[in-house]
Chain A
Amino acid sequence: MAERSEDSEEVKLLGMWASPFSRRIEIALTLKGVPYEFSEQDITNKSDLLLRLNPVYKMIPVLVHNGKPISESLVILEYIDDTWRNNPILPQDPSERAMARFWAKLIDQQICVAAMKVAGTIGEERDAAVEETRNLLMFLEKELVGKDFFGGQSLGLVDIVATLVAFWLIRTEDLLGVKVVPVEKFPEIHRWVKNLSGNDVIKKCIPPEDEHLEYIRARMDKLNIKSA
């Protein structure tokens, strides 16, 4: 339950159902019990509303809280945690908070980029991108030793951000024809994916697998991405 009286709150999310960045906002809002209106955006034909609310990047997700827009998913996640204090997603200790922010940034700015490179290349270039992605993921693998989630016993910021690995990167492996995150190399990550898959909030907030794979396949065809 949210702490504030709900009838005074207006929470709207401009998002896109298959986007990991949009889904992570839904996870945080659901975790906090904040009701929200979801506005599906056509990212190939951007709405005037989106252009007006995020004039700098013109991208989803945008959270609009009582008329005020916030962009960039990591900024939105921290805003949600600052605004609705129940079920915190960031730890209390400043040093642990800094580490959580560090991993979240690493996932968005490097792991995501390296994984996109896997999709966008073939041959030796793809092999190099797979290697780079794995080297970065190995840091996450080590972080998970002895923990159910990155956040410890419960979902935290890094878990929410790393759903990108669990439900986008790993789901795409078969379509790409390359196991980027093989279970032999990454047993902790695979154990964590199972924990995530059993979590009620996550179950509710990730795209249904069949539709999701269908969407990714169509996008790969359109972008002319080849499987190995």
Chain B
Amino acid sequence: MADEVILLDFWPSMFGMRTRIALEEKNVKFDYREQDLWNKSPILLEMNPVHKKIPVLIHNGKPVCESLIQVEYIDEVWPSKNPLLPSDPYQRAQAKFWGDFIDKKVYASARLIWGAKGEEQEAGKKEFIEILKTLESELGDKIYFGGETFGYVDIALIGFYSWFEAYDKFGNFSIEAECPKLIAWAKRCVERESVAKSLPDSNKIVEFVPVLKKHIGIE
């Protein structure tokens, strides 16, 4: 039976980007369906009744929700090409620890950079840089987070890179000046075809942020 793979997604989503990259890494063909987040489609509500959020991966009719769970699912279903998680249990646990760290920390502080003002914005910027520095020290001198090969933690983080230009602009600071090694890592990642294909143009994100602010009623 041919696999039917559908991805409910929204182009600027750094979470959706993870799933796109994982599918590309595995060379899995998928039907990308752009969603309108302000007018949720029946299929989104049916497939993710708990959170009603993108991305949703639908494989042969069965939904998988939450982007990092999707990446792991993709790795389990299509194990042979480009393994994304290490096979050693300890290395796997480390990768999951950092993936979870990125999930818990990066988005919340990043959102304050463009979505808050004054002290709250400054606190967001400061925390964001601290988090990136923690990640930078975990990266160390490695090529990718997992070492020599591109994998799970790289996928968890790289989507945010397409927003960095917007963070710089709206936060009036320079992420590269603070975290040069992390930017060098990001530049290595975007050389990969899977990443280049899955990340939107940074300029488009810069243009999208004011639209987003208007939609959620800030500014």
* Nearest chain A CB to B44 CB, angstrom units: 16
Number of A interface residues in the complex (CB < 8 A): 22
* Nearest chain B CB to A60 CB, angstrom units: 15
* Nearest chain B CB to A95 CB, angstrom units: 5
Spot the interface stretch: B62-70, B115-123, B196-204: B62-70
With A68-B90, A139-B50 known to touch, is A105 a contact of B73 (CB < 8 Å)? Answer: no
Find the A residue at minimum CB distance from B95.
A75
If over half of A's interface residues share one DSSP class (helix, strand or loop), that class is named, otherwise mixed; here it is: helix
In the assembled complex, A71 has its CB within 8 A of some CB on chain B = yes
A65 and B94 CA atoms in complex are apart in Å by 13
- Check if A97 sits within 8 Å of B66, measured CB to CB: no
Contact residues in B for A122 (Cβ distance below 8 Å): none
A196 and B59 CA atoms in complex are apart in Å by 33
Find the A residue at minimum CB distance from B138.
A56
In the assembled complex, B188 has its CB within 8 A of some CB on chain A = no
Contact residues in A for B64 (Cβ distance below 8 Å): 95, 98, 102
User: Of B49, B73, B93, which contacts A75 at CB under 8 A?
Assistant: B93
Contact residues in B for A78 (Cβ distance below 8 Å): 92-93, 96
A135 and B65 CA atoms in complex are apart in Å by 19
User: Of A72, A79, A95, which contacts B100 at CB under 8 A?
Assistant: A72
* Nearest chain B CB to A136 CB, angstrom units: 8
User: Of B62, B100, B101, B134, which contacts A74 at CB under 8 A?
Assistant: B100
Q: Which residues of A, 79-123, contact B by the 8 Å Cβ criterion?
A: 79, 82-83, 94-95, 97-98, 101-102, 105-106
With A56-B134, A101-B72 known to touch, is A75 a contact of B97 (CB < 8 Å)? Answer: yes
User: Of A56, A68, A83, A102, which contacts B65 at CB under 8 A?
Assistant: A102
- Check if B73 sits within 8 Å of A79, measured CB to CB: no
A97 and B62 CA atoms in complex are apart in Å by 13
* Nearest chain A CB to B75 CB, angstrom units: 9
In the assembled complex, A76 has its CB within 8 A of some CB on chain B = yes
User: Of B66, B100, B134, which contacts A102 at CB under 8 A?
Assistant: B66
In the assembled complex, A70 has its CB within 8 A of some CB on chain B = yes
A195 and B76 CA atoms in complex are apart in Å by 31
Contact residues in B for A56 (Cβ distance below 8 Å): 101, 134
- Check if A79 sits within 8 Å of B89, measured CB to CB: yes
- Check if A95 sits within 8 Å of B96, measured CB to CB: no
Q: 5 other contacts beyond A65-B90, A70-B90, A83-B89, with CB at 8 A cut-off? A: A74-B100, A75-B96, A79-B90, A94-B76, A139-B49
List residues of chain B with CB under 8 Å of any chain A CB. 49-50, 59, 62, 64-66, 69-70, 72-73, 76-77, 89-90, 92-94, 96-97, 100-101, 134
